[in-house]
Amino acid sequence: MSASLLPYLIASVCFILALQGLSSPIHARRGNLIGAFGMLVAVVGTLVFTHILTFTWIAIGLMIGAAIGAAMSIWIPMTKMPERIALSHSFGGLAAALVGVSEYHHRISGPEGIDRFTMAALGLEVFLGFLTFTGSLMAFGKLQGLITGAPVTWKGQNAINITMFFGALALLVLVVVDPHQSVLFYATGVIGLIVGVLAVLPIGGADMPVVISLLNSYAGLASASTGFALGNPVLIIAGALDGTSGFLLSLKMSQAMNRSFANVLFGAFGQVAPTPDGVAGPAANYNLATVEDAVGVLTAAQTVIVVPGYGMAVSQAQHAVRELAQALEANGATVKYAIHPVAGRMPGHMNVLLAEANVPYDQLYDLDDINDEFSRTDVSLVVGANDVVNPAAKTNPGSPIYGMPVFNTDESRAVIVLKRSMATGFAGIENDLFVKPNTMMVLGDAKKTLREFIAGVKEEAAA
């Protein structure tokens, strides 16, 4: 074991360099390569220096895993990135949990038994690992539409979840006191599996960025616990890095929604405040526009800000967005993109999609960097975004999203909103932007509408 500590040190340094590289898109790729190199060093070091008897199953496992991993990375469309990440969190959780069970099973039947500290680490590892496994599978199911994306709630839900969580911790204490209580140990794992399911069920699609980040953090903590149980420093370091990263991201995401952690986890969005009276009435008051109207406004514009949201991902409209921007630029307009931290279903979702469509990243602006510009902008083009452009967050203290930082799209001279239909999303919140006099609603599939815009703008330019 001690001889393998050197490769683990190299790997740890490489991992930190990999994260450091991500501070700028310029060296990010090189950093990622360094990280992969570190992983290779750690794996080879383990195979060489650790007492390994049979390589057959290891080799087969490595080959199967590499093939699946490569397939999942090369062919998956960028719009499916949140699903892809949720799945890999579940694999990470499962791997940690299984190693934990395997270690427990091996050591408990051995001559030395298990000391209390190792037992505590193993217990946490198995609990967190299984919780991450099912929780991430649920998140995947919701994103993929296999399970309803709406919050599923029932009476006493929070009480049950909290009881189970602390019940598992109590069991854990009992197992630490007497590691031979195998039944209790496995019960902890089973409760982890159940808590994972129950904890994610009440969380709505719009809250997915927080949940995915939090599961990322749990997967890291499960890895770190493995490190404690095995006395392996590189696992502790990598787990700590992953854990902090996920935790920081989920903090940032909650801040971007002006909600506390507790509110996201226990508050089931849209259930907090029932939709106000007379919802059905004023919703008809919006300004329905034709493609021709919108094209006229767009061709006259000198400055355009595009605000993408989850709807852009659903309709896979990122390439059409880029083509329209090019047509407008050819027409003499400047085009910028305003990206809200919680736009889409995971942190950075919109940035990746637009990068895929070859939008240069210096045209992508964060909330704080662009929000003052809307008042000087001719047209805001909202593509499948909803809550992040809702002025109610600024003006209506009764709104469930009141206080959430939103784009000042309503301050621009004209707003064009691309939306599938006028039905409210599952959050069930009315959007005041849609009924403003300077807002034009163009209903239908975003990609199709954008294609019509592009044709229209090009025609006008040629005329």
Partner 1 sequence: MSNELLFGLYIFVLAGFLGHYVIEKVPPLLHTPLMAGTNAISGISLVGSLVSAGGGYGKLSMMLGFIAVICATINTVGGFLITDRMLRMFKKKTPAKGPKS
Query: CA Rg, the chain, in Å?
Result: 25
Smallest CA-to-CA distance from 312 within 254, 351, 276 is with 351
Kindly write out the interface string for residues 278-317 of this chain, putting x where it contacts partner 1 by CB under 8 A and - elsewhere: ----------------------------------------
Q: Report the DSSP beta bridge partners of residue 388.
A: none
Q: Report the DSSP beta bridge partners of residue 292.
A: none
Pick out residues in 116-155 that bind partner 1 (CB under 8 A). Answer: 117-118
Pick out residues in 351-380 that bind partner 1 (CB under 8 A). Answer: 351-352, 355-356, 358, 360-364, 366
Q: Could you say whether residue 18 binds partner 1 (CB under 8 A)?
A: yes
Which of 242, 387, 410, 432 is catalytic? The answer is: 387
Q: Give the residue with the Cβ less far from partner 1, 274 or 360.
A: 360
Contacting residue, 5, 9, 10, 22, with partner 1 by CB under 8 A: 22
Binding piece for partner 1, criterion CB under 8 A, among 226-234, 262-270, 305-313, 432-440: 226-234
Q: Could you say whether residue 53 binds partner 1 (CB under 8 A)?
A: yes
As a whole number of angstroms, the distance between CA 126 and CA 192 comes to 8
Give the shortest CB-373-to-partner 1 separation in angstroms.
Answer: 17
User: In what helix (H) or strand (E) does residue 402 lie, and over which residues does it extend?
Assistant: none
Q: Give the residue with the Cβ less far from partner 1, 363 or 424.
A: 363
Contacting residue, 131, 171, 175, 212, with partner 1 by CB under 8 A: 212
Binding piece for partner 1, criterion CB under 8 A, among 14-22, 305-313, 437-445, 448-456: 14-22
Contacting residue, 348, 405, 428, 444, with partner 1 by CB under 8 A: 348
Scored b (16 or more CB within 10 A) or e, 228-241 reads bbbebebbbbbbeb
As a whole number of angstroms, the distance between CA 436 and CA 43 comes to 59
Q: In this structure, what token pair is assigned to residue 396?
A: 């209506």
Q: Give the residue with the Cβ less far from partner 1, 223 or 399.
A: 223
Give the shortest CB-443-to-partner 1 separation in angstroms.
Answer: 29
| Cα torsion through 239, 243, 249, 254, rounded to 10 | 160
Q: Could you say whether residue 62 binds partner 1 (CB under 8 A)?
A: yes
Q: Give the residue with the Cβ less far from partner 1, 8 or 286.
A: 8
Q: Is the dihedral of CA 428, 336, 303, 461 positive or negative?
A: negative
Q: Could you say whether residue 347 binds partner 1 (CB under 8 A)?
A: yes
As a whole number of angstroms, the distance between CA 292 and CA 236 comes to 59
Q: Could you say whether residue 208 binds partner 1 (CB under 8 A)?
A: no
Q: Could you say whether residue 96 binds partner 1 (CB under 8 A)?
A: yes
Q: Could you say whether residue 108 binds partner 1 (CB under 8 A)?
A: no
Q: Give the residue with the Cβ less far from partner 1, 106 or 180.
A: 106
Q: Is 444 helix (H, G, I), strand (E, B) or coil?
A: coil
Give the shortest CB-309-to-partner 1 separation in angstroms.
Answer: 15
DSSP readout, 173-236?
HHHHH-TT-HHHHHHHHHHHHHHHHHHHTT--GGGHHHHHHHHHHHHHHHHHHHHHHHT-HHHH
Q: Is 387 assigned a catalytic role? A: yes
Contacting residue, 83, 92, 259, 449, with partner 1 by CB under 8 A: 92
Q: Could you say whether residue 263 binds partner 1 (CB under 8 A)?
A: no
Q: Could you say whether residue 103 binds partner 1 (CB under 8 A)?
A: yes
Q: In this structure, what token pair is assigned to residue 114?
A: 């298990």
> Which residue type, as a one-letter code, is found at position 114?
I
Q: Could you say whether residue 29 binds partner 1 (CB under 8 A)?
A: yes
> Applying CB under 8 A, what is the total number of residues that bind partner 1?
116
Q: Exposed, middle or buried, 206 (CB in 10 Å: 0-12/13-18/19+)?
A: buried
Smallest CA-to-CA distance from 436 within 278, 296, 286, 276 is with 286
Contacting residue, 6, 48, 105, 274, with partner 1 by CB under 8 A: 105
Give the shortest CB-94-to-partner 1 separation in angstroms.
Answer: 5
Helix, strand, coil content of the chain in percent (nearest 5): 65, 5, 30
As a whole number of angstroms, the distance between CA 314 and CA 446 comes to 9
Q: Is 13 helix (H, G, I), strand (E, B) or coil?
A: helix
Q: Could you say whether residue 46 binds partner 1 (CB under 8 A)?
A: yes
Q: Give the residue with the Cβ less far from partner 1, 125 or 410.
A: 125
Q: Could you say whether residue 430 binds partner 1 (CB under 8 A)?
A: no
Pick out residues in 229-258 that bind partner 1 (CB under 8 A). Answer: 230-246, 248-249, 252
Q: Could you say whether residue 6 binds partner 1 (CB under 8 A)?
A: no
* The residue count for the chain: 463
Distances in Å between the alpha carbon of 350 and those of 71, 172, 192?
A: 23, 41, 32
Annotated catalytic sites, by residue? 387
